Chain A
Amino acid sequence: MISSRHNTIFDGVDRGTVLLYTLLVLVGCISIVSASFDDASTDIFSFSHYYMKQLVWVGVAWIAAIVVLLLDDRFYHMFSYPAYIIGIVVLVAALFFGKEVNGAKAWFEFGSFRMQPVEFVKIATALALARVMSDYSFSINSAGDLFKVGMVICVPLAIIVLQNDTGSGIVLGSFLFVLYREGLNKWLCIPILLIAALFIVSFLLSPMTLLMMSILVCTLSEAMMSGEWRSRIIYLAGLMGISILFYLLMGLIAPGAMDLYHCLLSVSLSSLALVAVYAFRTRLMNIFITMGLFLISMIFLPTTDYIFNSILKQHQRDRILSFLGIISDPLGTDYNVNQSKIAIGSGGFAGKGFLHGTQIKYGFVPEHHTDFIFCTVGEEWGLLGTLTVLGLLCALVFRLIRMGERQEEPFGRIYCYSVAAILLFHVLVNVGMTIGLMPVMGIPLPFLSYGGSSLIAFTILLFIAVRLDASTRQFSLKPKN
């Protein structure tokens, strides 16, 4: 049986995906050469250069890819929970025993090698998510199952945020993409996205505005889901009216004790009890989910200041504020993004040519071989280069979606979508930050950025998808023989 399924390990492997992968890694190597080439160095093949180190990682990555292809697809199914648990344990261990790099306690150090476990946790989480959601009895619209999914995503996310590696943590939020594909009500996706946006925007708005927006978003999206408009609008009006009355009353009893914000907050929170009773009697589960979201945002929003000032580090605060345009400091926080834009912008249409970039070579762009590797592409290869790289990445994401869609089993589909989501999010945030569309979050550009952990992890992530796809294709091809 096994021998019949594995004629060669390349049977059913999606050649297009492998080609795209190879091209991206190649572009990455060329860019790392540009970013770290030193005219002054006598020995250009010395392993002290980043590009020579990266070549070793490319070799390791190929071996990893072949190993991934050699393993049976059922192995991944079985291995998903253990991998997830190991991932969590390693993350927690890193939290205690890890090495701090750039303010994030997210690294293990073995001799001269450093490893970032979070890169591998993405794989484990994707597998675990696929496993949970592919259960026979799983229903995305049941609150209990949704809670399980939430736990799978939020536990590693919370630990990663505790490691001060907020950027990598937020990557896990991209699984919303998968949840939507698997049938999550879109009226639930929208409040999640809006609340995430509100969290960022909350630095700009007063708590009162935020509270009112949360109430509106939650109530109206619930109304969208149930189609019951009348009662929801009456509820809203009642909430506002009672809050104002309460405020006036408080003004008479104890002037100055409560402002309008606290009145509205207490009234809306106490109304939740009534809403819960209503939801229980009408058996509308969506109301419970919306209520949960509202409560989460209530925990978040009034404590935004606390989160902002205590959990985020100074540099992260500055990045967010600078991105939102609240502070502007071209030589300080804005410096990285400005220099990055200068490097890319100065590339023009055709670029300055291989090894002829100046901004990267002379160190104006920080982290130019890791997180800002896209600058090298932009400066030396110009718009042609950047659009080519974006095209390759876009093609890969589309390829993954297609691979997901042709899976027989939900497990494979969910996994492929997870990979697509992670890639898409990385590209959006990484490329976005180099051109000033996104705040600076320290996450690498898949396959291009220098770094063993990242390259090997993304290779494994991708090739598991290829492996799962290959099995499906073998099955579907077999009967024709």
Chain B
Amino acid sequence: MSERAAGFARMRILQAVVVFIFVLLGARLIYIQLFDSRYKELAEANVLYHEVQYPPRGEVFDRNGEFLVQSQACYDVMVVYREINKAGFDTTRLCSIIGISREKLDKELANARMRPRAARLVSNFISKEDKLRFDECNFEGFYTVYRTVRQYPRKVGGNLLGYVSEVNPEMLKRDPSYKVGDYIGMSGVESAYESVLRGKKGVRIQEIDTHGAIKGSYLKGAYDSLPEPGKNLISTIDARLQLLGEELMQGKVGAAVAIEPSTGEILMMVSSPTYDPDELVGKQRGNNYITMQNNKQHPLYNRAVKARYPPGSTFKLVQGLIGLQEGVLVPSNTYPCYQGYQVGKLHVGCHSHSSPLNLVEAVANSCNAYFCYVFRDILDNRKYHSTKTGFDVWKEYVDSFGFGRKLGSDFLGEGKGYVPDRGFYDRRYRGAWNSLTVISLSIGQGELGCTPLQMANLAAIVANRGYYYIPHIVKKVEGQDSLDHRFYEKHYTKVDAKHFEPIVEGMWRGVNVAGTSRRAALPGLDVCGKTGTAQNPHGRDHSTFLSFAPRDNPRIAISVYVENAGFGATVAVPIASLLEEYYLTDTIKRPDLLEQMKTTTVYYPSYDK
């Protein structure tokens, strides 16, 4: 090979090297500029600063237009480190105005120093008055941002209304529309209606440089938006009734729920012990929350919708209704009761009353034996050939009353209660069980569990003679003509309206003539009611009362459940009666009883363990 040809060959190889290098660079450029979209996002993250403008959160009114929850202006104090007066400023004064310690201020300033031109939060929940004082002092480099904070003029309905807190990291992951520093409803109405209450954040997108200093508006504000305030809610709650309910339930553990039967609107929902909702607001929220979490009586647990209580004798109403509908019972049937119901060795006790009784009297006097007979007749009905099939039929009826499932209210975290099914007993007794095995269900004991909301709903069903509207806590959302259509539908039970009369008669007689609920009587209001005394493994019997008034065109249906308060008539009945009196007449003519019930406290050894 000649020298020239060799040189030429080498030139070719070098040209190939050159081409290879340029192709390598070009390919890499094509990849990062065309195919790898992450750099565009990173570039925006670098340069765009989303200055958030927070909307005021929607407010909540009670059914009479009174404030339940108010949104009050408060301010976050921010700092831009570079703009702080280098000559120094009155730190003591600043600390006292914005309510933080000197150490906290130093810590925040040290952090702010890392990005001296970027805004950083120093302190939050500054009141309007403090903000005015702050503005007067004119601290260079510090400024305030408008936020809103919740305030509760009536100081009622802690668990009912719920509380608001800053979003936590898990929520951020679940819902990317929230950003760090946003507030979110954590429970109760705040959580259930979060989407309407929160409003829409406004944003001013600005371009920043590498030091965080603002350089101007992004695309002349084309993507900027103004904040949209959250929508107001009109709640179905009657604030005064709620307040009275909470006062009456003081010192007791339990729940009281009142429903307007003709609409399903929840008038009152008390879970006791409750707390002052203002305690879960502002700087002290975290500390108070932990204190409440450690409280052995669990004030943060909403018993009204979550607790699963044995309904006790109030459940006899359901047994009677099923018996009538199934035709195994006619109102004139009488059954004997000699201090209880006895079959062989099995004995269900009863209190002393005359015997035998018909249905109306059995309801009025809450006879255990009577409903044992009824229950067994339902289960052992010949037409179903087996007790177990009879049990299935019975369960279908019970389910139609809203037991053993969520009612579908607008309240999040609603409990299901529990109604055992055939499979449950088959497993427990390995298939060998009959109507006697499950006899405690007849008087609302055994495995049965109901939430106070379900029991109030039962009162509403009886008041309506056979149907209910799904209970709900919001009457109207600002800007919306109606609620979800499910709240306007009548939900019928499987029992015909005509079968309700003898039951209602019994409830009326129990209150107004002779029976267990005599203390609930209110002249001229025709109160109907059914007491319950539920045995439980935790101590004394639970005291419960289920009632509605007036007898015709009822305006209120109520369920009161007080844990370990003993006989139904002693605690639950007067509480329900006072609430009905107050709601229906706006006054209370029995101040002594009111005072007595407010000061009644029940001793709870089981909660102190």
Contact = CB atoms under 8 A, between A and B. Distances in A.
A180 B39 CA distance: 40
Interface string B10-21: 110111011101
A362 interface: yes
A344 B25 contact: no
Interface stretch (B26-34, B495-503, B583-591): B26-34
A181 B13 CA distance: 9
Contact of A363 (B6, B24, B211): B211
A42 B252 CA distance: 76
Given A347-B33, A364-B47, A342 B42 contact: yes
A346 B29 contact: no
A359 B10 contact: no
Interface residues of B, number: 37
Contacts of B208: 362
A78 B540 CA distance: 116
B43 A346 contact: yes
Contacts of A25: none
A401 B15 contact: yes
B581 to A, nearest CB: 69
A437 interface: yes
Contacts of A437: 24-25, 28
Contact of A383 (B30, B38, B39, B209): B30
B29 A343 contact: no
B11 A181 contact: yes
A342 B43 contact: yes
A110 B162 CA distance: 73
Interface string A176-187: 010011010000
B40 interface: yes
Contact of B25 (A339, A343, A358, A431): A431
Contacts of B22: 390, 393-394, 427
Contact of B209 (A341, A363, A387, A394): A363
Instruction: Tell me which of B15, B46, B207, B208 has the highest count of chain A C-beta atoms within 10 A of its own C-beta.
Output: B46
B220 to A, nearest CB: 13
A401 B26 contact: no
B138 interface: no
Contacts of A79: none
A345 B44 CA distance: 12
A401 B14 contact: yes
B39 A346 contact: yes
A428 B40 CA distance: 25
A398 interface: yes
Taking each of B14, B15, B25, B38, which has the highest tally of chain A beta carbons within 10 Å of its own beta carbon? B25
Interface string A397-417: 110010001000000000001
Contacts of A436: 28
Given A359-B46, A359-B47, A394-B18, A344 B10 contact: no
B608 interface: no
B29 A362 contact: no
Contacts of A343: 43
A363 B210 contact: yes
Nearest to B32: A345
A358 B28 contact: no
Contacts of A280: none
Interface in A421-440: 424, 427-428, 431-432, 435-437
A401 B32 CA distance: 30
Contacts of B93: none
Contact of B32 (A180, A183, A344, A361): A344
Contacts of A420: 18
B14 A386 contact: no
Contacts of A339: 46
B7 interface: yes
Contacts of B8: 405
Interface in B346-405: none
B175 interface: no
Contacts of A342: 39, 42-43, 46
B538 interface: no
A428 B25 contact: yes
A348 interface: yes
A138 interface: no
Interface in A161-215: 177, 180-181, 183
Given A341-B39, A390-B25, A435-B28, A181 B10 contact: yes
A382 interface: yes
Given A342-B46, A401-B11, A424 B18 contact: yes
A346 B39 CA distance: 5
B326 to A, nearest CB: 74
A364 B38 contact: no
A349 B19 CA distance: 22
A28 interface: no
Contacts of A378: 29, 33
Contacts of A401: 11, 14-15, 18
A449 B446 CA distance: 87
B215 interface: yes
Nearest to B29: A386
A435 B25 contact: yes
A350 to B, nearest CB: 10
B43 A362 contact: no
B209 A405 contact: no
B36 interface: yes
Interface in B31-57: 32-34, 36, 38-40, 42-44, 46-47
Contacts of A362: 46-47, 207-210, 215
Contacts of B13: 180
Contact of A345 (B17, B39, B215): B39
A345 to B, nearest CB: 3
B26 A390 contact: yes
A29 to B, nearest CB: 22
Contacts of A405: 7-8, 11
A176 B348 CA distance: 106
A345 B7 contact: no
Contacts of B210: 362-364
Residue of B6, B39, B207 with most partner-chain A CB within 10 A: B39
Interface in A340-396: 341-349, 358-359, 361-364, 378, 382-383, 386-387, 390, 393-394
A183 B6 contact: yes
Interface string A258-290: 000000000000000000000000000000000
Contact of B14 (A180, A427, A432, A435): A180
A177 B17 CA distance: 10
A349 B34 contact: yes
A345 B209 contact: no
B406 to A, nearest CB: 48
A199 B500 CA distance: 96
B39 A344 contact: yes
Nearest to B48: A358
Given A181-B7, A358-B47, A428 B42 contact: no
B24 A398 contact: no
A390 B33 CA distance: 14
A70 to B, nearest CB: 30
A391 B19 CA distance: 10
B40 A348 contact: yes
Going nearest first, the 5 A-B pairs with the smallest beta carbon separation are A345-B39, A346-B43, A362-B209, A363-B210, A358-B47
18 contacts: A183-B6, A183-B7, A341-B39, A343-B43, A345-B38, A346-B44, A348-B33, A358-B207, A361-B209, A362-B207, A363-B210, A390-B22, A394-B22, A401-B15, A424-B18, A424-B21, A428-B21, A435-B28
Interface of A: 177, 180-181, 183, 338-339, 341-349, 358-359, 361-364, 378, 382-383, 386-387, 390, 393-394, 397-398, 401, 405, 417, 420, 424, 427-428, 431-432, 435-437
Given A183-B6, A435-B25, 19 more contacts: A177-B14, A183-B7, A339-B46, A345-B36, A345-B38, A345-B42, A346-B44, A358-B207, A362-B47, A364-B46, A383-B33, A387-B30, A390-B25, A398-B15, A401-B14, A405-B8, A424-B18, A435-B28, A437-B25
